[in-house]
Chains A and B, each alone.
Chain A
Amino acid sequence: NAGVTQTPKFQVLKTGQSMTLQCAQDMNHEYMSWYRQDPGMGLRLIHYSVGAGITDQGEVPNGYNVSRSTTEDFPLRLLSAAPSQTSVYFCASSYTADHNQPQHFGDGTRLSIL
């Protein structure tokens, strides 16, 4: 059982480039989300999805787009990378979108913007 799989594990971009961070889960979870983790800041929610075709903004959505065409996949797109987006990005999923559901995290994508 793979759980939550994120690719790539590492990426270096130049300012202005675009890229997509991939996230896939094989647990048939309804809810998926993206967080960024910065030193001393904990985890901050970027975007989330409560099911295929439904997405919404979290705490820090600017500069990022998401889509949810299937239950399994929830890609995060950086349209024009900026140095402030240098961070570690985590995807998470839970069985439903209800309160009090445990969230399962992937191992992250470490992204550097030069």
Chain B
Amino acid sequence: GENVEQHPSTLSVQEGDSAVIKCTYSDSASNYFPWYKQELGKGPQLIIDIRSNVGEKKDQRIAVTLNKTAKHFSLHITETQPEDSAVYFCAANRNSGYSTLTFGKGTMLLVSP
């Protein structure tokens, strides 16, 4: 089955800096890669996703890049703000015919003012 590795497990940055979280996946048939943000006491919220037919996608301060050859994808947050502090999860779909996702173990991002 699919295996998703996520690094780093914790990331501390100063407000205004950029943050990068990286994930690798094992199943070359995976073709959908969402990123979720989870705030304390809440469920994961989708913040951006990318499909295998594109290499990069941006949404304001957030961007995701995908390298299908190397089987890795990354989340980039620019001009970080304290409210970006949360746990971020990457995921990849399984090529099982149905919409099942395999998640990375998460990255705790702390943005200090």
A90 and B93 in contact, given A42-B105, A48-B98, A99-B31 (Cβ under 8 angstroms): no
Contact A99 B99 (CB under 8 A): yes
Asked whether any CB of chain B lies closer than 8 Å to the CB of A71, the reply is no
Contacts of A45 in B (CB 8 A): 100-102
Contacts of B45 in A (CB 8 A): 105
Residues in chain A within 8 A of chain B (CB atoms): 4, 31, 33, 35, 40-45, 48, 50, 56, 58-59, 90, 92, 94, 96-108
Residues in chain B within 8 A of chain A (CB atoms): 1, 4, 6, 9, 31-32, 34, 36, 41-46, 49, 51, 89, 93, 95, 97-106
- 21 inter-chain pairs at a CB distance below 8 angstroms, sorted by A residue, are A33-B100, A40-B105, A42-B6, A42-B103, A42-B105, A43-B44, A43-B101, A43-B103, A45-B102, A50-B98, A97-B98, A99-B98, A100-B32, A100-B93, A101-B99, A102-B49, A103-B46, A103-B99, A105-B43, A105-B44, A108-B42
